[in-house]
Chains A and B, each alone.
Chain A
């Protein structure tokens, strides 16, 4: 009985066994501490700066404190993850090599393995932020990555670089001032949710990457919001492309990209909302394309796009086709077109929310846009309206799109209210004077 009790006691102790927990040694290198740890151990780092670079070759967890910094020596990757199931949390990582002539591209954190979790890391002064190299099923969350800003685009790498890596989750990351915010190269089936990317070259850059899902991300003030090149079968939903605005800028570029679904996104104040070139069979549905200089720029090499249920309003030019007409581009689908805003007044006598007649948009600017890049500098000028009108009277314009089933506009414009209010104020002030103009602007304020 005594032996049995002793055995049960020993077995019950097993329940309380936790993974081995280490506090980083005051003296000695971080690498030595890591090397001495057992697999699955947890290393807690103090509020201090540790010297890198470090290589992790066994599954373990490293948790930092509020001011834990791992400082690289500027010669390579600061943290190299070469074992699966590594968990890094609450770290500031800085000082990777910035060498562009080396055989390898360096990063603050470079991951070569699968099933790792990186969360709440802050990255500064590094070439790439986090680099996934042939690494699958990893999770990168709440990373705060800051590059060197727009002036140093070419000298630095990307915020998140995903290379031949599949099935990763990238969520809630904030990236600012890097070359590309997120760069996917031959990377499939990745999911990117709720990331914020500002002041980069391309917020998102897909090359040869298929079947990725991209939701609720925000791109602001990049040279280009998202550039999707040679990539197919992507889903882009509920993202915001805002103020990607400059020389040759765009909210979303589809270049040689096919069978992508673009739904529920907001394209606001970009130079071009959507820029589609050599792309086929993309579905653009339920997006809001508002206040861009060009809503949609569609090149002739692009065929079989479907535009349906989008709100395309208050753009200087709602849509322009350049280089001729593509084939099979449809501006309505199953009897539902797009809402083109108050610039295209409609009647809806049968109250089915579909306009009673098709909308056809003519423009003469397409040739200038194609031939002369300086045309973009005039897109905010009110003179564009006059130019279009005069060319329309000279029959010097062409049909840009025809929406056979336009949607009746739901959103009202605030500008009419503003002008009404301005009018009221002007009248109220004027009504007090008898000789209006000279009372308003002069006569020493005396009524005459």
Chain B
């Protein structure tokens, strides 16, 4: 609880969280205005898909930065050393720090999207289940990238390193991961498609998108070929869950294993 309170105080004084939230709010409102001409009945789904497709450019990088700088400032201010010498081990510190980060980022984000739902009410027929799936998708994506950010903050020694690592992680998941898979696509057969599917859904952006679009009933998997059936060997929700657990574990493990102090030793 102390960590959440500390994190909250630090973030409301800083501008990172507000910058991130104002960007997300502006995008949401802009898309709402652009969607004014959509039909009352189905416009809701179109708006959410468009919003997700736009917001996906911002949430990962903003969460990476917030997570990374939040951990790094503990090093900069020497509070990390104080905390560790007092009673905490690094994993215990990171666990508490991550909980604080989640609370500080997810609560305002969830609050904004609740407010946004009220705005949508005036324009479209609402589907609460669909909206819940949308909100869960956004929050899961934020959690994964916050944790990755915390890992970046843990093993970076300078702010320049943070910027470098963050941009690399963002670039990797945005472009490189899919690009590599595209290059291997001609070699995918029925025998190896399950492995290909595993790697495909390792990308949080793809796992979350699939969960969102199938969950809202927008993307349909009717009349699947044998190959596609083998590719979708479990439900999208499980792909997203697996992806979340995998990246949280990897990020946490990497942060604990490779955490380094500030400056060069």
User: What is the interface of chain A, defined by CB distance below 8 A to chain B?
Assistant: 150, 153, 198-199, 201, 218, 220-221, 223, 242-243, 245-249, 268-269, 368, 371-375, 377-378, 380-384, 386-387, 414, 418, 421-422, 425-426, 429-430, 432-433, 437-446
Say whether B228 contacts A199, CB under 8 Å. no
For this complex, 20 residue pairs linking A to B, each with C-beta atoms less than 8 Å apart, are A150-B220, A199-B217, A220-B42, A247-B222, A269-B49, A368-B182, A372-B185, A373-B228, A380-B209, A383-B174, A383-B182, A418-B27, A421-B26, A422-B26, A425-B19, A426-B23, A429-B19, A437-B69, A441-B14, A444-B9
Say whether B13 contacts A384, CB under 8 Å. no
> Does B243 count as interface, using CB distance less than 8 angstroms?
no
> Does B242 count as interface, using CB distance less than 8 angstroms?
no
> How distant is A239 from chain B, measured CB to nearest CB, in Å?
14
Taken together as a complex, chains A and B put the C-alpha atoms of A57 and B69 apart, in Å, by 80
Contact with A along B9-51 (1 / 0, CB 8 A): 1111111101100110011001000100001011001100100
The answer, among A268, A372, A443, for a CB contact under 8 Å with B73, is A443
Contact with A along B175-217 (1 / 0, CB 8 A): 1111101110110100001001000100000100100010001
Say whether B221 contacts A247, CB under 8 Å. yes
Chain B, 160-179, CB within 8 A of any chain A CB? 163, 174-179
Chain A hits for B183, CB < 8 A? 387
Say whether B10 contacts A444, CB under 8 Å. yes
Say whether B222 contacts A153, CB under 8 Å. yes
Say whether A150 contacts B42, CB under 8 Å. no
Say whether B159 contacts A438, CB under 8 Å. yes
Say whether A246 contacts B14, CB under 8 Å. no
> How distant is A366 from chain B, measured CB to nearest CB, in Å?
13
Say whether B178 contacts A383, CB under 8 Å. yes
Interface residues on B, range: 35 or more
**Who on chain A is nearest to B176 by CB?**
A383
Say whether B70 contacts A387, CB under 8 Å. no
> How distant is A370 from chain B, measured CB to nearest CB, in Å?
11
Chain A hits for B225, CB < 8 A? 373
Say whether B77 contacts A443, CB under 8 Å. yes
**Who on chain A is nearest to B62 by CB?**
A441
Taken together as a complex, chains A and B put the C-alpha atoms of A153 and B222 apart, in Å, by 9
A-B pairs with lowest CB-CB distance, top 5: A445-B13, A441-B69, A442-B73, A383-B178, A246-B220
> Does B116 count as interface, using CB distance less than 8 angstroms?
no
> Does B88 count as interface, using CB distance less than 8 angstroms?
no
Say whether A442 contacts B70, CB under 8 Å. yes
Contact with A along B52-66 (1 / 0, CB 8 A): 010000000000011
**Who on chain A is nearest to B12 by CB?**
A445
Contact with A along B67-106 (1 / 0, CB 8 A): 0111011001100000000000000000000000000000
Say whether B196 contacts A442, CB under 8 Å. no
Taken together as a complex, chains A and B put the C-alpha atoms of A89 and B200 apart, in Å, by 54
> Does B219 count as interface, using CB distance less than 8 angstroms?
yes
Chain B hits for A150, CB < 8 A? 217, 220, 222
Taken together as a complex, chains A and B put the C-alpha atoms of A440 and B159 apart, in Å, by 12
